[in-house]
Amino acid sequence: MTHTDFIPYGRQSISEDDIAAVVKSLRSDFLTQGPCVNEFEHAICTKVGARYGVAANSATSALHLACLALGVGAGDTVWTSPNTFIASANCARYCGANVDFVDIDPRTYNMCADKLAEKLATAHTKGQLPKVVIPVHFAGQSCDMQAIHALSKKYGFHIIEDASHAIGAKYQGQYVGNGAFSDVCVFSFHPVKIITSAEGGMAVTNNEQLANHMRTHAQQGTTRSPDELTEMPGDWYYEQQTLGFNYRMTELQAALGASQLSRLDDFIQRRHAQFSHYETLLKDFPITLPFQAKDTVSALHLFPILLPEANKTARKSVFDILRQAGIGTQVHYIPVHTQPYYQALGFKQGDYPVAEDYYARTLSLPLFADLTPTQQERVVLILKHALIANQVMSA
């Protein structure tokens, strides 16, 4: 099989304009710390309706910066979803905080707002409330942010949206990232995500203090801002006022990201057309397709299907048949609490049964901007063959 026959579950779409934008930045005076990063930050803010944007070299770094800015440290607890990429939890561990999880809704696969309410009520009686909750907009569909935000007012915690899957998604008619229901929102620009800067991420917020804190900590804890300096001996001067990191995004990355951002609407439109095509092709299949909640327009980062409860042991065989036929299916996600690192912290199988049951039965079918209807038809043909081979459906 040639490489071109392989259909990955996700991949970037790079245009000649994207390439020209990167080449232009390569020929410019700055490869890092130039104008492109600021322009990209402004462009993202304008798109999603946020006041401040802080670019970083990854969404993982941006999540870390957001936790630090909200004061997360040793002795604090951060709650997130078990159905996510490990970075949503690791960011709290970098700060020395404890992590805990809230099980998912069986239809949206997002953090369940009712379970969050129950867990908060219990934590409140024990004096163990979280400092920050990190809802993850799984597969590009917003969580029930209105409910989570109302709980944050009742119990006094902060909210970081992990919107790594969800740039361009809408909730209640507004772009995810506008900050109506959270303190900070983080996007990822990894190549499998909706738009890419190769590696890269961004934290957006409407709070100037949080933005300044994140910006300072992304550049070694330094500032050049005249109103923050203790003295101003000359133009060379900067001060390290705290301990930070080098989490900077390069100009090349920002140039690519900005060029990709101009294609965001088209990417989302294409993903929605692909979603509809899968719905048509799969309508008689005994599998559960991704549920789309009212009040949300998903960015459709992923297309996770669910095998019937009775056939959950077939998942591995279906996965293997797809992979052997050159279909790059993947599983999103291994519940974070079952990772050996988190088990060593005391979590165990059985702690979050909905996320675990979902994990046992799910597969993500390919979904990315340049996926063709013909490729989708091939994916579905092989899926049908795999389901028949496993007696999940009859021929």
Q: Among residues 178 and 188, whose Cβ is nearest to ligand PLP?
A: 188
Question: Over the range 78-105, which residues count as b (16 or more CB within 10 Å of their CB) and which as e?
Answer: bbbbbbbbebbbbbbbbbebbbbbbbbb
Which residue, 137 or 386, has its beta carbon nearer to ligand PLP? Answer: 137
The runs of H, that is alpha helices, within 137-263 are: 145-155, 208-218, 251-261
Smallest distance, ligand PLP to C-beta of residue 283, A:
29
Least distance to ligand PLP, CB of residue 57, Å: 8
Question: What is the DSSP track for 252-310?
Answer: HHHHHHHHHHTTHHHHHHHHHHHHHHHHHHTTTSSSBPPP--TTEE-----EEEE--GG
Q: Is 170 a catalytic residue?
A: no
> Residue 107 has what DSSP assignment?
T
Q: Which is nearer to ligand PLP, 187 or 383 (CB)?
A: 187
Provide the 8-state DSSP code for 127: T
Helix (H) or strand (E) holding 38: helix 35-48
Which amino acid type is present at position 384? K
CA–CA separation, 278 and 287 (whole Å) = 12
Supply the minimum distance, in Å, between the C-beta of residue 79 and ligand PLP. Answer: 15
Q: How far is CA 344 from the centre of its chain?
A: 25
CB 389 within 8 A of CB 322: no
Cβ atoms of 93 and 80 closer than 8 Å = no
Residues that bind ligand PLP (CB under 6 A): 58-60, 84-85, 87-88, 136, 162, 164-165, 188, 190, 201
- Using the CB atoms, write b or e for 352-364: b if 16+ within 10 Å: bebbbbbbbbbbb
- CB 354, min distance to ligand PLP, A: 18
The CB-of-201 to ligand PLP minimum distance in angstroms stands at 4
| Beta bridge partners of residue 205, listed in sequence order | 52
Query: Residue 361 gets which letter from DSSP?
Result: H
Among residues 126, 193, 294, 312, which one is catalytic? 193
The distance of closest approach from Cβ of residue 101 to ligand PLP in the complex, given in angstroms and rounded to an integer, is: 14
b/e sequence 33-59, b meaning 16+ C-beta within 10 Å: ebebbeebbebbbebbebebbbbbbbb
Q: Calculate the dihedral angle through the C-alpha atoms of 118, 123, 129, 130, rounding to the nearest 10 degrees.
A: -60
Of the pair 223, 362, the CB lying nearest ligand PLP is at 362
**Which residues are the active-site residues?**
193
